[in-house]
Amino acid sequence: GAVVSQHPSRVICKSGTSVKIECRSLDFQATTMFWYRQFPKKSLMLMATSNEGSKATYEQGVEKDKFLINHASLTLSTLTVTSAHPEDSSFYICSATANTGELFFGEGSRLTVL
Amino acid sequence: AQSVTQLDSHVSVSEGTPVLLRCNYSSSYSPSLFWYVQHPNKGLQLLLKYTSAATLVKGINGFEAEFKKSETSFHLTKPSAHMSDAAEYFCVVSDRTGGFKTIFGAGTRLFVKA
């Protein structure tokens, strides 16, 4: 079946630095990718919709300048957490949608900001 | 806009007894519906999905769900719970709103007692 790969699976960084998380569709072209954030013991909150070749669409309350999303190709979307702070520590998950509407999730990336 | 409601935040069953996790949805279009399971500190695992084919969907690990359009429900069931089923379960709806934007339910924590 189709696979979505996220990298890194775990990252620890210092406060004030930026961290990039990659989401790749390995065997299909993803016209749309989604980024989610999951707080401890909570559900997944949709952060933004990433469309290849265009600007991401952010959900209400999500800071565009804090969470930079780039979808430069049909197989890669990146989420950059800029000037990270401890409150940005979370589990970030991406999903990718093919033209058929099939939805595939990455394994998630756990960010810890010290 | 689509939405999904998981009616129970916690469900507790005894090992060997049936499991019922309830989910109701709303969608302006023909939706795709999914159930995902998440074990502690892990990513998401797809249990099953409905994408306008058979209304009774069989998934992995003995789980199944029935799509009932008249009731706008997609409840997850399993005839006999196993200790390893203890986890968080998410009902997810996706339709072509916003390019197949996917919305997660709040999650249901399943406890299985010995």
Cα–Cα distance list, A17 to A21, A77, A83 (Å) = 13, 20, 5
B44 to chain A, minimum CA–CA distance in Å? 7
Helix and strand element counts for chain A (H, E): 0, 11
pLDDT band at B43 (very low <50, low <70, confident <90, very high): confident
Q: Of B28 and B78, which is predicted with more confidence?
A: B78
Q: Given an 8 Å threshold on Cβ–Cβ distance, is A103 in contact with B94?
A: yes
A18 to chain B, minimum CA–CA distance in Å? 23
Residue A31 near residue A98 (C-beta atoms within 8 A): yes
Residue numbers of B between 81 and 110 with CB closer than 8 Å to A: 90, 92, 94, 96, 98-107
pLDDT band at B32 (very low <50, low <70, confident <90, very high): confident
Q: What is the pLDDT of residues A69-97, one digit of tens each?
A: 998 888 999 999 999 999 999 999 999 87
A1 to chain B, minimum CA–CA distance in Å? 12
Report DSSP letters for A87-111, one per residue. GG-EEEEEEEE-TT--EEE---EEE
Q: Give SS3 for A86.
A: helix
Q: Given an 8 Å threshold on Cβ–Cβ distance, is A49 in contact with B96?
A: no
Q: Is the pLDDT score of B53 beyond 80?
A: no
Q: Of B19 and A99, which is predicted with more confidence?
A: B19
Q: Mean of the pLDDT values across residues B3-24?
A: 96
Q: Mean of the pLDDT values across residues A58-73?
A: 92
Residue B31 near residue B93 (C-beta atoms within 8 A): yes
Residue numbers of A between 58 and 87 with CB closer than 8 Å to B: none
Question: Is residue A2 packed enough to be buried (19+ CB in 10 Å), middle (13-18) or exposed (0-12)?
Answer: middle
Which pLDDT does position B20 carry in this prediction? Answer: 98
Which pLDDT does position A78 carry in this prediction? Answer: 95
Please provide the average confidence, as pLDDT, over all residues in chain A: 90
